[in-house]
Amino acid sequence: MSAAKVFVARLSGCSVFDPAGDRVGKVRDVLVVYRRSDAPRVVGLIVEVPGRRRVFLSIGRVTSIGSGQIITTGLINLRRFEQRGGEVRVLAELVGRRVTLRDGGSGPSGAAATIEDVAIEEKGPGEWSVSQLFLRRPRTSPAPFGKGSTVFAQWADVVEDDSGDEAQSAEQLIAAYSELLPADLATTLLELPEERRLEVAQELSDDRLADALEEMPERDQVQILSELDDDRAADVLESMEPDDAADLIAQLSDARGETLLELMNPEEAEDVRFLLAYDADTAGGLMTTEPIIVSADATVAEGLALIRRHELAPAIGAAICVTLPPYEPPTGRYLGMVHFQRMLRYPPHERLGTILDQSIDPVTPETSAAEVSRRLASYDLVSLPVVDETGRLVGLVTIDDVLDYLLPSDWRNADSDDPLPRVRRRPLSTTRAVPTNSRRTDGRG
């Protein structure tokens, strides 16, 4: 191996390659087991492979760790990872735990500290164990800024605090998740132990938690939201897309849903109430009330500037709706759409009203989800405008919401080789798979 000691926080997100140099996946955590007298032994890595599936990679199949990458023997069991009794995930469960220093350790006896990182070290070929802890002691100064002092300690120098009186710190774990995309963050949260998951959710920012909730199954959304106080829950709902917030509130009791709506910003709550009036299997139930809307006098340059916004979802930014005033749903009369590819073909000063695509008829809020999906597929579209009986634009149905409706409710948790209705799948990895009917092939006994 090219490195004798490595800190786990630095491994998170590192790419995993086979001997031929093909990328297999990326590291999400390190798995250890406790021993009676010695430091915990590393049994393997939790690796995310294409399809967002987490699999187990035995540490014995790792040939090199160094320079921000891991090299394997090329043999990986592609069965979805399931944590066994006695196994501990370092980032998800060990980092953030509170410990007490023993006599003769790296600090005063009885001093409390929090684990912020864990070093693992190679003891022999294919044998790794926890060698050192990076600890942070509580701040002793009353100053409002800054953190406590840090210290390195051996595993034998500390005693874990199992009192459970205080929640584990989630700061380090959240920092390790800062680069994850919303869908990956949602998957990671759902794989945490329930207590740890709720703790991390409490510490995430409103926007970050909202992004993750939008990618979760409804039952998990409800579980996390039920653990938040009403004010925090309302703030998170405000940060969600109106259609996602409406879907979530619809799963709550009438009393809780109304309480949260009352606490939300009135404008945000109005959009959600509007969407709640429609059945989930209609265009009204699927649409978002926040499409890009401009006047016919807006120019191509102005339109392109609007779709460049970083926070805009790609499906919404694929086209701009043109209406008469007012320009907030329900708008004035709907005039047509301008797709971004069409805008690229015209000079910046061209008025959008002159290049409208009026060939696609809008749908009404009562149009069935099946009909919406048929039109999207028939005309190779990523979105459809929704108008009321008077021709006013009330929203936009995007293909991602239609797919979310068509796929089974547990599609996020399905294995990548599980059949999904209406979706044609192709192999996602050429990595050689160890037969999945053998419990001994993953190196965990």
* pLDDT one-digit tens code per residue, 162-218: 654 444 456 666 766 777 788 888 888 887 878 778 888 888 889 999 999 998 988
In the chain, the percentage of residues whose pLDDT exceeds 70 is: 83
Residue 124: what pLDDT? 81
The 10s digit of each residue's pLDDT in 221-238 is: 999 999 999 999 999 999
Of 43-52, 102-111, 286-295, 402-411, least confident by mean pLDDT is 102-111
Confidence of residue 160 (pLDDT cuts 50, 70, 90): confident
Segment 3-12 shows an average pLDDT of 82
Residue 231: what pLDDT? 93
* Strand 98-101 relative to strand 112-124, pairing: antiparallel
For the cut 50, the answer to whether the pLDDT of residue 426 exceeds it is no
State the average pLDDT for the chain: 83
Residues 191, 405, 201, 16, CA torsion sign: positive
Residue among 340, 398, 407, 418 nearest 78 (CA):
418
For the cut 90, the answer to whether the pLDDT of residue 69 exceeds it is no
Helix (H, G, I), strand (E, B) or coil at 112: strand
Q: Which residue has the higher pLDDT, 349 or 243?
A: 349
The total of other beta-carbon atoms located within 10 Å of residue 207's CB is 14
Tokens of 236: 């998170």
Beta bridge partners of 128: 42, 122
Segment 16-35 shows an average pLDDT of 90
* Buried residues in 23-40 as b, exposed as e (16+ CB within 10 A): ebbbbbbbbbbeeeeebb
Residue-level length of the chain: 445
Residue 424: what pLDDT? 31
Segment 150-157 shows an average pLDDT of 89
Residue 104: what pLDDT? 57
Residue among 40, 41, 74 nearest 57 (CA):
74
Distance CA 404, CA 409 (A): 8
Confidence of residue 421 (pLDDT cuts 50, 70, 90): very low
For the cut 60, the answer to whether the pLDDT of residue 386 exceeds it is yes
Distance CA 349, CA 299 (A): 5
For the cut 50, the answer to whether the pLDDT of residue 432 exceeds it is no
The 10s digit of each residue's pLDDT in 97-152 is: 888 888 655 555 668 888 889 999 988 887 899 989 999 887 655 444 445 688 89
Tokens of 296: 């016919």
Residue 140: what pLDDT? 57
Q: Which residue has the higher pLDDT, 183 or 273?
A: 273
For the cut 90, the answer to whether the pLDDT of residue 82 exceeds it is no
Provide the angle, in degrees to the nearest 10, between the axes of the packed helices 194-203 and 218-226.
70
